[in-house]
Structure formats: structure tokens, C-alpha cells
Amino acid sequence: MTQLKFLLHAVVATVASVAALMTHAVPSAEFGPAGDAVTDRCKEAAFFKAAAEAAENELQQIRQAVTPIRQQAVFLSLGAENEPEVQENARLRALADYAGDHAAAAEGAITAAEQKVSHYQALVNRWIGALVTAENAAALTFKTTGKGTGGSSDSTATAKMELTAAAEQCGTVELKSETGAKVDVSMHDAKKLKISPKSVITLTGHSHTATFTAYNGDAASATPQNSVFDTTPPTNNVIMLAGSATSKSFHLTATKPETRPYSGTAGTTIGATPAAAFLCRPTHTYAEKFLQTADDIAHAHCEAAKALEDAKIRPLPNGGAELAESTRFLAIANNLRAVSDTRYNPDKADERAKLQHLIRTSVKK
């Protein structure tokens, strides 16, 4: 088993650099450090932009971690082709199979993660665009322009309304703290996400305060007409005119958008329950619409995060003690012995124990 010991240590040394990817992120507070920084709709958009990027970066790291394992499998296979001694040739081929199986399993998990991450990115990118567009739309102001046209019996009139855009509302694409420091975003460190309701996108309930100014002629003047609008509060949703009003015109001269408070603070649970962030909802049907529900986004986040966690590369066992617990390697060791020795039956406890003891004593950590 000396050659086996040498080759196993070579495999372990090659893939040791991926051990850091074994660490599972532990959810912190409800929203995590990044979620705590989300205090308005622009920051919500910045959070999801950063989350989509974090998912892609994590996926790229996982892809890179497979490469040395796949290379080691090729190296061992080439070594077997150049090894004339039967037993050593079998050992090399078995080790190549072991590393190859490990890489193949990882690649399968990566493919699944790529699909979940791609779906998540598609959802949040649409949400980001809708959030930012709605934020700019809510800040529009308008006024009457052009000539008014009298209506039936001079009791109604029409006039064009000119929209004026305010300054771009979401001035930065980075999520920053109140002090201006960039906030790092992870897919794994929260139990809830701050997601605005769809009514924010459709501007449901949003309002402007309008200012009407009356004039004595058909053109604006420096001196508006007085005593045109009644100061008595009306009972219904109307603007009262004073009984002595003599104005010949009035203009909608300005509107001021009302402040929209942030409504995503309560948060949406990522997983099926608040206590287990990545135990995803067992059943969920995505809305077949451009605008998703908060549950759609949270569920996509959950599925992407879980798929990334499942795809993280598990390093090859490091030494005999770990190898002895690997069912796959027990089978390989059995196949190696089949060349010249009696094969153990791993289904029998005593024979399995003998095989495990052989591996532990032959392959030191």
C-alpha cells in the first residue's frame, strides 16, 4: 500500500486549496449585515444587484475549485497507462476513478447551481429595473402647458399637462452604509429579505400636492388674482371657488410629489419558516408575470443559495482516517485487493472493520 499512500497524499495536496469552500455560512440576524443597510427602495435595488453579483462570484469560485481535482484524475489516469506492473496499474486506475467521480459529482451540482443562479438573476434584474423606474416616475412633476380648450356649456375645459423629470433618484448602484462605506452582500447570512410590495412599482396610492394659480387674463402675470378660491374647507373632493371670483384663468403651476415611506422593512422570509432560512418552501409556483411577488424573489434567493451551498467542493478525504469512512473508497480498496488477495465483504461488520483498519494504518494523515 506504499504506492497507494504516496498517490493519495498527492491527491490531497493538489485539492487542499479548496478546503475553504467547505465552510457553511451561518445566518446572523434576521436581515444580516447587508440587509440592515437597506433603508429605502434605491438601496433595495442596490442590495439585489450586489446579491446577484455575489451569487455569480461564488459560482465562479466553485467552478475553479473543480479544476485541480479533474486535473488530478487525468494525471492518475495517465500514470496508470504508463505503469506496467499489474497491481500498481490497478491502484492508479482506481485512484483516477475516485478523483474523477468526485469531480463529476461536483460538476453535476455546479450545473444545477448555474440554473438556479441564472433564474434568480433574471428575477432580481427585472425587479431592480422596475424599482428604479418607479422611483423616478414617482418624482415626476407636471404643470399645464399650451392653450386650454373650453368644454360643454363652458363648464369643463381641457389642457395639456407637461411632465418634468426630477434628478435621477437612485444615484449609486452600490449598497452603502449611512457612513458611505460599501456594504458586502452574501447570499447566505440572512433569514429575511427586505422586498417592497408590488404596489410600490405600480405607484398605487402615490399622490402629488398641486398648486393652482388664478390670473385676471389669459396669460400669467406677476400679480395673481386674489379671492378666487374659497378658503372654507370643502366637504367633498373638490376645489371650491369663492362667490366673488372674477378670475378669467387659472393654471396648474406646480405639483409636489408626496414622500413615499419605505415599505419593505417588515421583510419577507427567505425559506419556509423564519427559523430555517434555507429550508426552502416545499411547494411554490412562480407568477407568470414580469413583476414578481415578494415570495417569488425570496424563494428564488433561497433556491440559488441552497444550490450554491450544495455545489461547494468537498475536498478529497485527507488521510486514512477519513478515507476509511468513505464508502466509495472502501469499494476502491476492495477492488485493489481483488488483484491478488481475498476481497472483503463491506456488508459484514467484521470484514468492513478489517478493511477500514487496513486503510487507517496504511495511509497516515
Q: With H, G, I as helix, E, B as strand and everything else as coil, classify residue 13.
A: helix
Say what the pLDDT of residue 285 is.
Answer: 92
Domain assignment of residue 55, yes or no: yes
Query: Per the structure block, which three cell numbers stand in for 66?
Result: 473543480
Q: Within the chain, which residues score under 50 in pLDDT?
A: 1-8, 10-28, 365
Measured distance CA(17)–CA(125) in Å, rounded: 33
Domain assignment of residue 158, yes or no: yes
Domain assignment of residue 330, yes or no: no
Say what the pLDDT of residue 25 is.
Answer: 37
138-148 residue pLDDT tens: 999 988 887 77
Say what the pLDDT of residue 18 is.
Answer: 40
> What is the pTM for the complete model shown?
0.77
Measured distance CA(16)–CA(318) in Å, rounded: 9
Domain assignment of residue 215, yes or no: no
Domain assignment of residue 362, yes or no: no
Domain that residue 264 falls in: 1-207+258-316
Say what the pLDDT of residue 301 is.
Answer: 96
Say what the pLDDT of residue 4 is.
Answer: 45
Query: Per the structure block, which three cell numbers stand in for 270?
Result: 427567505
40-70 residue pLDDT tens: 999 999 999 999 999 999 999 999 988 888 8
Domain assignment of residue 287, yes or no: yes
Number of domains in the chain: 1
